[in-house]
Amino acid sequence: MKKDEHLKYCKKVAEVLGYDRLHNLDKLQSQSLNNQLNDLIEEHDYIVETVTDDEIIGRYRLVTEHIYPSDFIKMREIIIK
């Protein structure tokens, strides 16, 4: 993906998800979301304009509600300590 397209995609993701959602992720959630968003843009042949807000939110929800839900993150923190 070209640098300008990558920046455009990052801006779109930031606008859709907002500061709080993006900055309140655990490291595992953040890594998983990054992977999901990379897969998403790849599915769209790197054309940012074809990625919908709902798809971005869907990937966020997939990560934060199903792959690494908050309860999992809390239990992980308890076990690690």
Instruction: Give the model's confidence band at 78: pLDDT under 50 very low, under 70 low, under 90 confident, else very high.
Output: confident
Give the pTM. 0.90
Q: What is the pLDDT of residue 76?
A: 80
The total number of structural domains that make up the chain: 1
Phi, psi of 14 (to 5 degrees): -65, -40
- Domain with 40 in it: 3-80
